[in-house]
Amino acid sequence: MKNLIAILFATLFLAGCSSTVTSEQTEEKRLPNIVVIFTDDQGYQDVGCFGSPNIKTPHLDQMAKEGIKMTNFYVAQAVCSASRAALLTGCYSNRLGIHGAYMPFVGKGLHPEEETIAEMLKPLGYKTAIYGKWHLGSESVFLPTRQGFDEYFGIPYSNDMWPLHPQQGTVFDFGDLPLMENEETIDTLEDQSMLTTWYTERAVAFIEKNKEHPFFLYVPHSMPHVPLFVSDKFKGKSARGLYGDVIEEIDWSTGQILQALKDQGLDDHTLVIFTSDNGPWLSYGTHSGSALPLREGKGTSLEGGVRVPFIARWPGHIPAGTETSQPAMTIDVLPTIAKITGANLPARTIDGREMTALLTSSGAEVTPHHDAYYIYYKKNELHAVLSGDGRWKLYFPHTYRSINDRVGRDDGNPIDYTYDNEMQMELYDLRNDISETKNVLDDHPEIVEQLRAYAEEARTELGDSLSDREGKGVRPLGQI
């Protein structure tokens, strides 16, 4: 009965989203499929429709023309594991006790009692799969198959965590990089050139196999995280060098997935989301992406670290050619999927809020669905508060890493960051200063006061290692 009610709710919602929903679709009472494509360290500018001057992404550009391009979309933290946890659970990652990027086999991961998008959808009969990078715990108890996914193929953590890492033997002691099928290691990888192709082939086969069932397909690409690998069919094709080759292969992959949906008659039944887990890893020079015109990149709470490209497509529901500057965050994806499918939200507290009005509004201004967004970083430090309309961003004193405008190397090896760059309390008007060049703290005391009040609420709820408060809503990390 519970599932029937959910299906009827979803049908009514879908019928109300657009006048183009046909009577045949309504009669089918078909739940929408969900596809989430999540790249690794792809910069804000690294898509043609987001301004790349030398990377061609025709499939992503067409996807934006047929759907929505969100120019103010954020991740919860600018680093791998924390960002993925927020996407899959709808929670700020610090609520889950997850910070930074997990090292291999350290006995830590997403707590088994947390509910992922996959687990939320399973009671409605969804088939679920992940093809790509997991990075939420590498022991069996933490793997995707224990968090609602029927199928898993990919790597359990970042593709640089292997013996050829530049700091192997000095800072790290990594073993071979495992390629996993469900809970078994089926190979170890030195040559990663076929990973994007393999993920794509699995995704297409999954769509074909499950065309009669609602499904959730999660494709968290290993690339363009360094080291960069690309298949022969894209090697040397891009004017941007190896990094551009990698992005153009990801664009091809997206095109293959979209074509598979069309071929199976699922185009109008499927919400497809494309975004990145954080900004570019700038110390790798030509092997890293670009966040321009944003400031800094991965590993910082500045705009280049946490603002990422976002495209969503759902014919008949998301109006074609939509662009919006109103903000949203990865924590909003889970409740949005719950809204359009009729799934019950997780029993535990989440932080995201559904954004269907934003997706279906043809770019018109809608009421912000959050009063504020909170940008935390490692060690549970509250670095910044973003106003709900996306205009104002208040930073609190902290240090951050930077290459200080130096040019990174072009051989795949990093240049060193400096870690003593200090930020005081600073306020930026992002609507008029996207590059965060002018601190307007003294000019807007009322804005500062309001954002500080929001920050106090966050500290009470989620803590802040720089204060003497302990977050009452922080839940235990999964550990073995």
Residues with catalytic roles: 80, 135
**How many whole angstroms from its chain centre is CA 431?**
23
Q: How far apart (Å, rounded) are the C-alpha atoms in residues 56 and 79?
A: 26
Please state, in angstroms and rounded to a whole number, the distance separating the CA atoms of residues 311 and 323.
Answer: 9
